Amino acid sequence: MPDSLREVFMEPVEGSHSGTPPDDGKLAWLLDELTAWTRGGIVTEDQARRIRARYDLSEVELDRHAGPGKLIAAVAIMGALLCGAGILTFIASNWDEMSDGLRLALIFSTVIGFQWGGYELAFRRANYPRIGQALLLVGALAYGAGIFLVAQIFHLDDHYPNGFLLWGIGALAVAIAVRSLPVFTVAASAFAIWTSCETADFGKAHWIGLGVIAAAVLPLAAVRRSPGHMSVAVLAVATWFAFAPAGWDNSEHQLFAGWLAAAGLLLAVGSLHISAGLPQFGIPWRAVATFGAMVVAYLLSFHDLVSEVAPREARAGVTPWHVLLIALAASASLAAVARARNILQRWEAFAALALAALAFFWITLAARDISSAVALLFNLAFFGGAVGLVALGTHERSAATAYQGLGWFGLGLFSRYVDLGFELMDKSLFFVFGGLLLIGVGWVLERQRRRIAATLREGRP
């Protein structure tokens, strides 16, 4: 196999699939190159055939000659959703006139019909896989709607979050039986809504929700070895961490500590996956963690907001749960530092540790009487994170990551101008200088963007 193929597809051991699954762009490149390699004698016809089978290039060839399959999938899903909405609307408009038996028959026939039709088209006959996936999605959604309709028929409204739990269990069973990312997304979303409702409406930290997500959703994503499945699973975990701090003894002033520590923990987990040679799992953890961390740092970079959300006195509202989460984040970060394979991974692990340190600072020292110092610290953290994303994207040759860092940097710079400059100068001068600043920022970002793009093209770290 040519060396260029090994570089592009990140297959360190022949016969293994441990690298990141190639995206459509890489597959299209491979399809074009195979012809040239065969003509030039680099690979034989038999080797080319085996490569085509290994990476399933039939879909790429079909897309090239008959139109993009993703567009077909999107159209099929939209059509199926519209069809499902029409059926549900018809049922709702005639609901009061139906007997309970007819209602149940309509609910069960709708769910079973969509699931059976989706399975037939996507897997058993496999002649219309994208339409079949769309029908499976609608079947999973109809199943959830059916749960609440049945509860309405029999007046079962004792504890409504249990409906989302049952929805997640049923959708997960289908996702285990068949490989369907849309159905898996419905299952993970139902579990995330279930545990979020338990926390938001009943004021308690719902640890069993995290246990279900960790024991059911994450393992299935790992078995599927799909970045899409793992991204959905990580978002479900992140949703729990987004709501859980609100249920920790109603300590609303310490919400940001929980979010910062959670971001540090997720980033450390992602770093550990990458160090273990599993980037397809690590990158989703990193993406969610960095976005959450940047949002929190951006919010806390405003002095006025800090003066409102910070505790009136240091350490007010701190619970053992905050300490436990910070300890977990710090421990995972130190483990990531120890297992880092290169300087970049080590810096990423240190960034996770820094988030844990910021959370510890918030629960021990942050208070309204030092809001200026707190805002300054988070300004430094925010701009440091933006610069770090640019460096990370440049090193990994990921334009999206680098441009994300540039975007955050530009947003922070303009926000500081508005935050500090609006009351310090004449309003007309404010807008004039603001316009010039935006033009200048745009020019600098575009220039830096071109440099990054050139670096990525040249393949330099």
pLDDT (tens digit, 9 = 90+) per residue, 256-297? 999 999 999 999 999 999 999 888 889 999 999 999 999 999
What does the pLDDT read at residue 87?
Answer: 67
What's the mean pLDDT in 47-62?
Answer: 65
Residue 394 contacts residue 400 (beta carbons within 8 Å): no
What's the mean pLDDT in 297-313?
Answer: 93
pLDDT (tens digit, 9 = 90+) per residue, 137-171? 889 988 998 898 888 888 777 789 999 999 999 99
- Token output for 377: 């610290």
Mean pLDDT of the chain: 81
Say yes or no to pLDDT of 26 above 80: no
Q: How far is CA 343 from the centre of its chain?
A: 25
pLDDT (tens digit, 9 = 90+) per residue, 403-444? 888 889 888 887 877 776 555 555 555 555 655 665 665 666
Q: What's the CA gap between 444 and 342, in Å, rounded? A: 30
Query: Which tops the pLDDT comparison, 45 or 302?
Result: 302
What does the pLDDT read at residue 10?
Answer: 39
Query: Which tops the pLDDT comparison, 56 or 291?
Result: 291
What does the pLDDT read at residue 250?
Answer: 63
What does the pLDDT read at residue 51?
Answer: 78
pLDDT (tens digit, 9 = 90+) per residue, 90-115? 666 677 778 888 888 888 988 999 89
Residue 137 contacts residue 156 (beta carbons within 8 Å): no
Q: Residue 22 carries which DSSP code?
A: P
Say yes or no to pLDDT of 7 above 50: no
Say yes or no to pLDDT of 347 above 80: yes
- Break the chain down into helix, strand, coil percent, rounded to 5: 80, 0, 20
Residue 320 contacts residue 353 (beta carbons within 8 Å): no
Q: What's the CA gap between 420 and 124, in Å, rounded? A: 63
Give the global pTM. Answer: 0.76
What does the pLDDT read at residue 11?
Answer: 40
Query: Which tops the pLDDT comparison, 72 or 118?
Result: 118
Q: What's the CA gap between 171 and 228, in Å, rounded? A: 17
Sign of the torsion formed by the C-alpha atoms of 189, 194, 195 and 201: positive
Q: How confident is the model at residue 57 (pLDDT cuts 50, 70, 90)?
A: low
